[in-house]
């Protein structure tokens, strides 16, 4: 058994003045694990935000290389979390060990990728317009712009990724990379995991000489609201439900000083199965799709929750195959009791709707999630029925049959914003349905071809975002290196002598970064 204190992480110290206790649960059995977590008091929430604010001027002014070394040290510490840690995460989440091992590598890899971004230096967005003293009618002063971290960031971990979207996950990594200290609100579903990871982050911070308060973590219910309303917090990262995310957005917008919230919330991730693909490989697609729907018990933001096809014999055959495949899927344990309750509720709503037919799946009962397949009338999409627009988090998906390609276009136009949209198509389909792509581009952050959206690659070009309600701000992504830009803002210097400027903007270009100089990209030193 690991030794955990259950205390909050505040400015490099552990504090637990509160009296409200939370227990971590074994996700499979529901039994309490032998760890107790003490809810942060309002004073401790304030202290955590203040600690982050105190660290901000120091941390943001460290060189990007120093911040990169911190992220790399976090990565090393996370990689070093051993088998007992993996076993603990598995107990708290009911996720299999192989998945947790993979997620551990993804989490440390993410830290190292952001370290690479810091060393590459393009996040500085350095732009230089040199003085034109002889310009008529007025001279132009020397102006130089770069990007700085916005300030302390509050991060809310996700239930479904105890590592990659939690304590040291993508939001934390991108905020720390941007030069923003973090106050992390631990998810109630994996508090013991959070403590182990927070310890890893603190060890890395100490090894690399980071200021106390660069990373803080609080436990408890209701503390997130205090955090988002705290004047020292200047941005928020969140992954979770539409209801929870929207509540945070509303709080943030109502503050005396409103702040941006990047909430990744609800997406049904439509998969459009086109005629050529159905003809060529409908049976295979049905099997692959079923596998994607039930993978990880369907507990992914990008789980395919809607499958759309044009009426035909091939589509009917495909749906029958999908029903067979879904019917054969075993029940799985979900992340926690609340998730199972929501899933059962969502399934019951679908079953009770007059325009929805149940195609496959055992009765939803007991303490596991039963995979389900439904078919909904296209009118529900066309009329904007919320049941088809809000994700049912778990191993279920809904088939919608459209009459023809015109109705397909209308159905897609009726959809709300999505994280992903997928075409299953042959070359001939791409030609015949070429007008779909610009439409999907407007609806989603990521558009896939002949793949399934559940794998989200961590790389420079990934977009894990999209129009509302997929996220609260389509201009951000919470996976991939572009995520750093959510927490940066531009500043410019006018008429300053070279030696006073930030290194990124100095004539000699000591960082060797690419800059936009008088409208031209260059790595050259300036005379």
Phi-psi region of 463 (alpha: psi -120 to 50; beta: other; left: phi over 0): beta
510 phi and psi angles, rounded to 5 deg: -60, -20
Among the options 196, 301, 391, 401, which is catalytic?
301
Q: How far is the CB of 32 from a copy of itself (least distance, A)?
A: 35
Q: Which is nearer to a copy of itself, 313 or 500 (CB)?
A: 500
524 phi and psi angles, rounded to 5 deg: -70, 150
Whose structure tokens read 């939001």? 171
Interatomic CA distance for residues 189 and 20, integer angstroms: 17
Whose structure tokens read 């002889």? 134
Interatomic CA distance for residues 298 and 343, integer angstroms: 10
Contact 262, 472 (CB under 8 A): yes
Contact 282, 314 (CB under 8 A): yes
Interatomic CA distance for residues 491 and 388, integer angstroms: 43
Q: Which is nearer to a copy of itself, 258 or 330 (CB)?
A: 258
Q: Which is nearer to a copy of itself, 19 or 136 (CB)?
A: 136
Contact 10, 216 (CB under 8 A): yes
DSSP state of 455: -
Q: Which is nearer to a copy of itself, 13 or 518 (CB)?
A: 518
Whose structure tokens read 């809607």? 306
Interatomic CA distance for residues 16 and 41, integer angstroms: 8
Q: Which is nearer to a copy of itself, 32 or 492 (CB)?
A: 492
Dig out the tokens for 350 from the structure: 């679908």
Q: Which is nearer to a copy of itself, 361 or 417 (CB)?
A: 417
Q: Which is nearer to a copy of itself, 50 or 336 (CB)?
A: 50
> CA neighbours within 13 Å on the CB side: how many for 300?
23
Instruction: Give Cβ neighbours of residue 243 (< 8 Å, ≥ 6 apart).
Output: none
Dig out the tokens for 218 from the structure: 């609080």
Instruction: Give Cβ neighbours of residue 373 (< 8 Å, ≥ 6 apart).
Output: 322, 323, 326, 327, 358, 359, 360, 361, 396, 397, 398, 399
Omega of the bond leading into 300 within 30 degrees of 0 (cis): no
Q: How far is the CB of 258 from a copy of itself (least distance, A)?
A: 6
User: What number of other Cβ atoms are within 10 A of residue 206's Cβ?
Assistant: 12
Identify whether 180 is a catalytic site residue: no
Rg, Å, the chain Cα set: 25
Interatomic CA distance for residues 293 and 308, integer angstroms: 14
Residues facing residue 99 across a β-bridge: none
Interatomic CA distance for residues 521 and 234, integer angstroms: 31
Q: How far is the CB of 366 from a copy of itself (least distance, A)?
A: 33
Q: Which is nearer to a copy of itself, 15 or 229 (CB)?
A: 229
Whose structure tokens read 């088998």? 83
Q: How far is the CB of 137 from a copy of itself (least distance, A)?
A: 7
**Coil, helix or strand for 237?**
strand
Q: How far is the CB of 455 from a copy of itself (least distance, A)?
A: 7
Contact 93, 27 (CB under 8 A): yes
Q: How far is the CB of 229 from a copy of itself (least distance, A)?
A: 15
Closest CA to 24 of 90, 94, 92: 92
Q: Which is nearer to a copy of itself, 325 or 421 (CB)?
A: 421
Among the options 69, 72, 92, 264, which is catalytic?
264
Question: Active-site residues: which are they?
Answer: 264, 301
């Amino acid at each position: 058994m690991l030794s955990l204190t259950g205390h909050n992480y505040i400015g490099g110290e552990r504090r637990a003045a509160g009296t409200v206790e939370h227990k971590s649960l074994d996700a499979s059995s529901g039994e309490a694990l032998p760890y107790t977590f003490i809810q942060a008091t309002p004073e401790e929430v304030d202290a955590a935000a203040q600690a982050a604010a105190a660290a901000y001027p120091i941390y943001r002014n460290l060189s990007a290389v120093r911040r990169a070394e911190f992220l790399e040290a976090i990565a090393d510490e996370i990689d070093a979390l051993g088998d007992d840690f993996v076993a603990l995460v598995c107990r708290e989440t009911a996720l299999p060990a192989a998945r947790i091992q993979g997620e551990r590598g993804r989490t440390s890899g993410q830290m190292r990728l952001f370290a690479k971004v810091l060393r590459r230096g393009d996040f500085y967005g350095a732009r230089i317009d040199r003085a034109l003293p002889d310009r008529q009618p007025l001279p132009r002063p020397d102006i130089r712009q770069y990007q700085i971290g916005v300030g302390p960031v509050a991060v809310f971990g996700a239930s479904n990724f105890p590592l990659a979207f939690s304590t040291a996950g993508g939001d934390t990594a991108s905020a720390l990379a941007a030069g923003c200290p973090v106050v992390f609100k631990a998810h109630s579903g994996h508090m013991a995991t959070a403590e182990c990871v927070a310890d890893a982050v603190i060890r890395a911070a100490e090894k690399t000489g980071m200021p106390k308060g660069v990373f803080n973590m609080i436990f408890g219910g209701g503390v997130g609201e205090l955090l988002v309303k705290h004047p020292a917090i200047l941005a928020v990262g969140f992954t979770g439900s539409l209801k929870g995310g929207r509540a945070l957005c509303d709080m943030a917008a109502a503050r005396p000083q409103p702040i941006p919230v990047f909430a990744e919330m609800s997406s049904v991730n439509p998969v459009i199965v086109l005629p050529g693909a159905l003809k060529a490989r409908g049976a295979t697609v049905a099997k692959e799709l079923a596998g994607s729907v039930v993978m990880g018990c369907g507990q992914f933001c990008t789980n395919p929750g809607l499958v759309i096809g044009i009426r035909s014999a091939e589509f009917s055959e495909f749906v029958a195959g999908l029903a067979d495949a879904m019917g054969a899927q075993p029940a799985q344990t979900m992340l926690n009791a609340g998730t199972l309750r929501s899933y059962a509720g969502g399934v019951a709503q679908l079953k009770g709707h007059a325009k929805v037919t149940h195609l496959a799946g055992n009765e939803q009962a007991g303490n596991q999630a039963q995979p389900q397949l439904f078919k909904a009338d296209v009118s529900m999409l066309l009329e904007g029925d919320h049941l088809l627009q809000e994700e049912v988090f778990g191993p279920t998906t809904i088939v919608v049959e459209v009459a023809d390609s015109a109705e397909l276009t209308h159905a897609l136009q009726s959809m709300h914003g999505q994280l992903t949209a997928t075409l299953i198509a042959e070359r001939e389909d791409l030609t015949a349905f070429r007008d779909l792509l610009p439409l999907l581009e407007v609806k989603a952050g990521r558009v896939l071809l002949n793949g399934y959206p559940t794998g989200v690659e961590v790389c420079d070009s990934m977009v894990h975002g999209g129009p509302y309600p997929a996220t609260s701000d389509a201009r951000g992504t919470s996976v991939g290196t572009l995520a750093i830009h959510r927490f940066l803002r531009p500043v410019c210097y006018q008429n300053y002598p070279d030696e006073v400027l930030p290194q990124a903007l100095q004539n000699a270009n000591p960082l060797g970064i690419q800059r936009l100089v008088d409208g031209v990209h260059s790595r050259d030193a300036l005379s």
